[in-house]
Amino acid sequence: MVVVKNKMLKTLVISCAIILSATLMTGCVDNNSLTKLTQTGSSTVLPLAIAWAEEFDEATISVSGGGSSHGINFLLTKQADLGDASRLLKSSDYEKVGCNGDSVNSDGTASAACNGVLPTKWIVAYDMLAVVVNPENTWATQLNYTQLYEIFTDDNPAIEWRDVSGLNEIAPEGAEIEIYAPDEASGTYDYFFEEIIPNWGKDDQQANTRLEMKNSIYHPSADDNVILNAIKDNVNAIGFFGFAYYKENPTAVKPVDIAEDNDYQEASFENVANYPMARPLHIYTDGVPASDNVINKYLTYILSEEGQDIVPEVGYVRLSLVDVNLITTQLALL
């Protein structure tokens, strides 16, 4: 967990110490005068949450990761004020804490409260999901959704790289696929499989993930750094995580061009409108906070020009590049 004390407060505390030592005066504002908030959840949202919390001057915010499921669970059980998620609220989130899953709508909103909490979503930025391989992998530079399905699901899965359609002539003989990717608590995991498995999460779901297979070659982790290092050290490895994490480590692994069919698109911020695996990032709160509530002020800051300026600095896509009306629509609710 990261307890973020904003920059103004840091300066104020330092100034207080100087004045106190010189004149023995008291009365300077300290950390205890600010509202304390807890924000937890998605590891993808985490770098943004830390950056926003550091710049926000009206609260001390304890920020942590743990995955989207964790963040939503903590919001629904009143252990957090803000739940970060790189996926939408699901019926299973309600059911896990003893609430009626039928109250959750397909757009990630809820028609009824759970344990007195009405989870309300705010889209705060966009991210792209990067499928990555080892830098020495010369055969899987482009992959479409059909090939990803063959690699990552239990439906007649490819064992070697040569078993993947279209790679039988170019992949090295005997090269067995190894997968290093997020675990089931991750919103990134959900988003990826929603993309490549038809009817994901429904009764007629077409396949299961390779993680669910016995003797699986899918090695899950909640830590993107563990995933990155494993792929960096294994020429036959493949995995996925948020594009921003790749941007922090551009020489360790190599991103793959992705196509939903055969229109391959490069993962880049400039190409976010065309890239098939771009997704919104969310913060969930308990209802729409009142105008005088510090959570309202925090969300207003995040959606402001200043707050959105932080988004590309951290490595994500600001809302205006995807939907010019989204900021105005959400601010009107606050």
pLDDT score of 14? 33
> Cβ distance 179 to 36 under 8 Å?
no
Q: Which tokens sit at 32?
A: 């205890």
Residues 261, 204, 148, CA angle at the centre, nearest 5°?
30
In the chain, ranges of CATH 3.40.190.10 domains: 2-125+281-331, 128-271
For residue 6, the model assigns a pLDDT of: 60
pLDDT computed for residue 244 by the predictor: 85
Q: Which pairing describes strands 35-41 and 82-85: parallel, antiparallel, or unpaired?
A: parallel
Tokens, residue 311: 């988004």
What does the pLDDT look like over 134-190, one tens digit per residue?
999 999 999 999 999 999 999 999 999 999 999 999 999 999 999 999 999 888 999
Q: What is the DSSP letter of 211?
A: G
Whether pLDDT at 32 is above 80: no
Structure tokens at 334: 């606050």
In angstroms, what CA-CA distances link 230 with 76, 235, 308?
34, 10, 33
Digit-coded pLDDT (tens) for 52-68: 999 999 999 999 999 99
Which residue(s) pair with 129 in the sheet?
A: 242
Name the DSSP letter for residue 141: S
* Residue 46 Cα distances to 76, 105, 132, 133, 135, angstroms: 19, 25, 21, 24, 27
pLDDT the model gives residue 21? 37
What pLDDT score does 215 carry? 76
Decide if 154 contacts 208 (C-beta within 8 A).
yes
Q: Closest by alpha carbon to 35, among 4, 14, 65?
A: 4
Over residues 85-100, the pLDDT tens digits come to 999 999 999 999 999 9
Whether the per-residue pLDDT at 199 is higher than 90: the answer is no
pLDDT confidence of 216, banded at 50, 70, 90?
A: confident
CB burial readout 221-230, b (16+ within 10 A) else e: bbebeebbbb
Q: Strand, coil or helix: what is 159?
A: coil
Q: Which amino acid is at 183?
A: D
What's the chain's average pLDDT? 90
pLDDT tens digit string along 272-327? 888 999 989 999 999 999 999 999 999 999 999 999 999 999 889 999 988 889 99
pLDDT one-digit tens code per residue, 226-258? 999 999 999 999 999 989 889 889 999 999 999
Residue type, 270: E
CB 227 within 8 A of CB 181: yes
Query: Radius of gyration (Cα) for the chain, nearest Å?
Result: 22
Strand ranges for 161-319 from DSSP E: 178-182, 218-221, 237-242, 254-255, 257-259, 278-286
Residue count (the chain): 334
Name the phi and psi angles at 125, rounded to 5. Answer: -170, 175
Contacts of residue 215, Cβ cutoff 8 Å, sequence gap at least 6:
none
| CATH code for residues 2-125+281-331 | 3.40.190.10
The pLDDT of residue 28? 41
62, two tokens: 């304890």
For residue 189, give every residue at least 6 positions away whose Cβ sits within 8 Å of its Cβ, in sequence order, or none: 181, 182, 183, 209, 220
User: What is d(CA 22, CA 26) in angstroms, rounded to the nearest whole number?
Assistant: 11
User: Which one-letter DSSP state was computed for residue 156?
Assistant: S
> How does residue 12 score in pLDDT terms, banded at 50, 70 and 90?
very low
Q: Does the pLDDT of residue 8 top 80, yes or no?
A: no
Would you identify the CATH topology of the domain 128-271?
D-Maltodextrin-Binding Protein; domain 2 (3.40.190)
Average pLDDT on 45-56 reads 97
pTM confidence score: 0.74
